[in-house]
Amino acid sequence: MVMKEIAEELKALSEEVRLRLLLLLTAGELCVCDLIAVLGLPQSTISRHLAYLKNSGWVDCRRQGVWMHYRLAETMTPLQTAILAALRGETATHDQVRRDSANLALRRQNENGKGLCG
């Protein structure tokens, strides 16, 4: 891996929204509609940040009907894996991360298996 690639991977983590998205995706694959609801941000903002994470190798996506679903990249580099582990450990007790996780759990509970999108 060359320095430029490392810099791009790290640059992807320089925005709070991208960090929050990445941490939410540690819970498994999520639809953009879930991320919009949990973070309370517009679809355009969520999609822009997810595209950045995808282009820098942090996440993968798939389309299901009109919805895009995102998950952590299956082929993360060892550096990405180590950074994500450190990030999870460092943020485990942060209020915003706890609120995001609680909002996701509540959304899943309220949907009760009916499908979370539209």
| pLDDT tens digit sequence for 59-83 | 999 999 888 999 999 999 999 999 9
In a domain, 117, yes or no: no
Query: Using CA atoms, how far apart are residues 58 and 41, in angstroms rounded to an integer?
Result: 20
Structural domains counted in the chain: 1
8 inside domain: yes
pTM, rounded to two decimals: 0.91
What pLDDT score was predicted for residue 60? 97
pLDDT score of 51: 96
Could you tell me how many residues make up the chain?
118
Q: Report yes or no on 9 lying in a domain.
A: yes
Confidence tier at 108 by pLDDT (50, 70, 90):
confident
Task: Give the pLDDT mean for 101-116.
Answer: 79
Q: Does any domain span residue 108?
A: no
Structural domain of 90: 3-101
CATH number at residue 44: 1.10.10.10
| Cα-based torsion angle of the residue sequence 34, 35, 36, 37 in order, rounded to the nearest 10 degrees | 50
Judge whether residue 113 has pLDDT over 60: no
Is position 43 within any domain?
A: yes
- Asked whether residue 116 is assigned to any structural domain, the reply reads no
Handedness of CA 28, 108, 24, 34 (dihedral sign): positive
Please report the pLDDT score of residue 111 as a whole number. 76
* pLDDT for 109: 87
Is 115 within a domain? no
Q: Give pLDDT, residue 115.
A: 54
Q: Are 83 and 13 in contact (CB under 8 A)?
A: yes
- In a domain, residue 114? The reply is no
Tens digits of residue pLDDT in 7-52: 999 999 999 999 999 999 999 999 999 999 999 999 999 999 999 9
